[in-house]
Structure 1
């Protein structure tokens, strides 16, 4: 149910344009939610390569620039690229394991990572038309299972934030829990007692309140703000020419395939939320944007990009489905890439503030998946088994990330992604039980009629 005012029944929720103030506030919510994830990958890789603080800051700005541009293309569409839905883009965690390994390999390093990213992006653009045809393998049974798994796999991040973050010296301290609870309660109360505009920006209001209280308690660290430059322009090939080596390229090509699998599940999830049919043509446009963003990312000193699952929860939470909201957020990301001081302020949000918002939004994603599962025949024992096994597979790397540590390293992009494991499991079991097993199912259905 959309909460936007719609003066024309012919205008879908995805194409609605909000008043400017509401547009800016809801866009800022999207930016706050994905910002931590957007800067995490360059932080990890920069540390693995051994870059200076200034060079890591440049990596972060480069990532914000590409993420903003890719978000604009994905939301508005340019030529054959862009799914034209409310999607936020950012550096993908699927490639982190492979890139850290490359960073420590002599002769590869950062330029080898950029070269592999460029080659993998080109490879992705070649296979996107073929990958887009798999949309037929995502009936409500599979879609609901994947969306539920997405929500559940995001929950550990929200709980980690609520406890103060992975770097907290006293994880679970009462002050962290209190701030997270206050943000969550604020969001719940606004959704219960307010309407329209306030509901649409409930997450932002809760986070701003949490930030203000955190600042009063001395939990906001602004050290280093004065040293950050006012303006910095990201230039391509800042670290030198990319290097192209076969092994890193093959590894990153596998990452792109996994990103495509993840993105397919997320696009279909968003299609259900926004009441948009995800056709093969629309899916192809979305996947081409994912691949194109990765291709450009390698040139502009950053890494493989994909759609961010956590922002799907915000779309469901607020009921604001307009793609122009995420396009506006993309413009904000580009602006932040040019203004390091502003980016620094956004990065200073304490994890506990994000925790309260994350619990509500990620739970909404899981709830959407459960709602979609009602369209499938869950009374069927085989379908119950499909849901059970797929959700279990999706949670395996979340509960114990080291579970698959003994498997070959090239499998890390698959085994470390709960979304990828859940998607592959659900599609495979649906193929086994309901497609290849269609003939014997029909026979079981006809059998009682013969008595």
Structure 2
């Protein structure tokens, strides 16, 4: 099916237009805000993998740099796109958290890691490349994936995403003890309070930039509290691009490749869910054709990730919440943010400098962002008429309970087979899959009951 022609760019002051091009003086700070919102999430995956696998600091830095570089390219593919590639929606792309368990399992397995020549990670990259190729070929299935995401599933998924991400922000704030804990709380609450105040009372650019202005205030407070001490000694060079296959040529094995294909298929849950929400925000619906282009771009980004030394990519929900907070939905602002990520990926100096931000600053911003994401999901669910015992109530409550059980105890499903753990240790993926399955089962039961009672079947209008 031929895609729609490239929309014409419109220089306009209306920030709600998905194709709006604003003055660079307005676009740049908004783009930086998108980068800062997703940056900690973007670098968390390579940091965790590097720490668990006990990689040398230089190799971990390479993973981070490759991640930022590929995140930038993936975001540009998704926002600008071509006739067959990319959703052309304001979607920031990053490495999916769902990949962590799978990557660590493959890289640390004695079967694939025989010596000190990075066989484990090279096997991971071989699996990522295969999964990316399969995702590209399977992208036309997007028309069928769309049917799995009615508003009841999307609303439940958004609420789960916000709830499951809140502990990340809380842990960044609650680090340390005694005086250190007090300073962390002061820094985080300065960010949080400033962002809330500007969201309520701010006007124009101050309202749109509530989060980044709060981060700026948090940095000032962190400096005064002695938590931020800039120094240039020992910093890496300003420019040192990552070369393809930084740890050596990839190694291909069947089972790791199959495992990674399953993980990539699971990440489609978040990508498609975000596309549906953003499509509603921007009046550019996530049609089956658009979803196919979205998934194809994810596949290309994943393939590129395997080549550059990174992992599978998906849309970042944190930035979907930011679109709701600011009301600015131009995809060109997000494309500019992708360009900034690309530049950060070229420069180990800049990437290291941004990574040095005090965790409490990111935690304070996270409280605002993740809380908003949760409330957007609850708002969608409330519009469906939640009543004890009805289908939206059951789907949302059961799925959120399962997701929060994993947040509170990550090995909640430890009795399940090992091959399922990469799914069952992710609250977002487990909760989303639960919502999809329950919605299908309960819809089928409702149709069966209506048929047996002689009532005509009418398609649900909302859920």
TM-score of the two chains, using structure 1 as the length reference: 0.91
Alignment of 1:336-351 (within 5 A): 336-351=344-359
**C-alpha displacement of 1:209:** 0.8
**C-alpha displacement of 1:23:** 0.7
C-alpha offsets along residues 215-265 of structure 1, whole Å, 9 cap, x if unaligned? 222212656753311110111122211000112111111111111122222
C-alpha offsets along residues 354-381 of structure 1, whole Å, 9 cap, x if unaligned? 1221111111112111222233242372
Is the contact made by 1:97 and 1:413 (CA closer than 8 Å) also made in structure 2?
A: yes
Alignment of 1:312-327 (within 5 A): 312-327=320-335
Match of 1:287 in 2: 295
**Within 2, Cα distance between the matches of 1:230 and 1:181?**
33
Match of 1:277 in 2: 285
Alignment of 1:242-321 (within 5 A): 242-321=250-329
**C-alpha displacement of 1:78:** 2.6
**Within 1, Cα distance between the matches of 2:447 and 2:13?**
44
Is the contact made by 2:123 and 2:250 (CA closer than 8 Å) also made in structure 1?
A: yes
Return closer, same or farther for 1:97/1:170 CA change in 2, 3 Å cut-off. Answer: farther
TM-score of the two chains, using structure 2 as the length reference: 0.89
**C-alpha displacement of 1:128:** 2.1
Aligned counterpart for 1:141 among listed residues 152, 155, 165: 152
Q: Pairwise CA RMSD of aligned residues?
A: 2.4
Match of 1:156 in 2: 167
Is the contact made by 2:45 and 2:95 (CA closer than 8 Å) also made in structure 1?
A: yes
Q: Is residue 219 of structure 1 aligned with residue 223 of structure 2? A: no
Match of 1:62 in 2: 66
Aligned counterpart for 1:359 among listed residues 349, 367, 375: 367
Q: Is residue 118 of structure 1 aligned with residue 122 of structure 2? A: no
**C-alpha displacement of 1:172:** 8.3
Is the contact made by 2:199 and 2:325 (CA closer than 8 Å) also made in structure 1?
A: no
Match of 2:7 in 1: none
**Within 2, Cα distance between the matches of 1:390 and 1:282?**
27
**Within 2, Cα distance between the matches of 1:312 and 1:84?**
14
Is the contact made by 2:71 and 2:341 (CA closer than 8 Å) also made in structure 1?
A: yes
**Within 1, Cα distance between the matches of 2:177 and 2:263?**
34
Is the contact made by 1:382 and 1:433 (CA closer than 8 Å) also made in structure 2?
A: no
Match of 2:435 in 1: 426
Match of 2:106 in 1: 102
Aligned counterpart for 1:206 among listed residues 205, 214, 219: 214
**Within 2, Cα distance between the matches of 1:51 and 1:364?**
36
Is the contact made by 1:49 and 1:110 (CA closer than 8 Å) also made in structure 2?
A: no
Aligned counterpart for 2:33 among listed residues 29, 32, 40: 29
**C-alpha displacement of 1:6:** 8.7
Return closer, same or farther for 1:196/1:97 CA change in 2, 3 Å cut-off. Answer: same
**Within 2, Cα distance between the matches of 1:246 and 1:224?**
46
Is the contact made by 1:162 and 1:172 (CA closer than 8 Å) also made in structure 2?
A: no
**C-alpha displacement of 1:170:** 6.2
Give the aligned length.
439
Secondary structure of the residue that 2:411 maps to in structure 1? helix
C-alpha offsets along residues 70-122 of structure 1, whole Å, 9 cap, x if unaligned? 01111111342211111111122211111112222224411111101101111
